[in-house]
Amino acid sequence: MRNIVMAAVAALYLIGAGSLVHADDVLKSELGAMKDQLKADVKADKEQMKADIKEKKDEIKGKMKAHREEAKAKRDAVKDKMKAKHDEIKAQGDAVKAQGDEVKSAGQEMKATGQELKDAVGALGK
C-alpha cells in the first residue's frame, strides 16, 4: 500500500510540476506577444508623429514662401514707383535745363542787341 501511495504522490508531483512548466511557457509566450505588440504600437505612434511634424513643416514652409513672395512683390512695386518718380523728376530737370538754355540764348541775343544799340548810339554821338 505504501508503494501505491508513493506512486500516487510521485504522479501528482510530476503532473503538477509539468503543468507549472507549461503555465510558465504560456505566460512567457503571452508576455512576448504583448511586448511585440507594444513595440509595434510605439513604432506606429513614432511614425505618425514624424508624419505630423513633416506636415507642419511643409505648411510653415508654404506660409513663409507666400510671405516672401508678397514682400518681393511689394518691394518690386516700390522700386517701380521710385523709378517712375525718378524718371518724372529727370524729365522735369531736362525741361528746366532746356528752358534755361533758351533763356541763356535769349540773354546772349539781348546782350548782342544791346551791344549793337550801344555801338549805334556811340556812332550817332560822334
pLDDT digits (tens, 9 = 90+) for 73-97: 999 999 999 999 999 999 998 888 8
Separation CA 45–CA 91 (nearest Å): 68
Helix or strand run (H / E) with residue 81: helix 2-125
Q: Give the helix/strand (H/E) hosting 59.
A: helix 2-125
Query: What is the per-residue pLDDT across 9-66, written as a single tens digit (0 to 9) for each?
Result: 676 666 666 666 666 777 788 888 899 999 999 999 999 999 999 999 999 999 999 9
Q: What is the pLDDT of residue 7?
A: 76
Write out the E strands in 1-126.
Answer: none
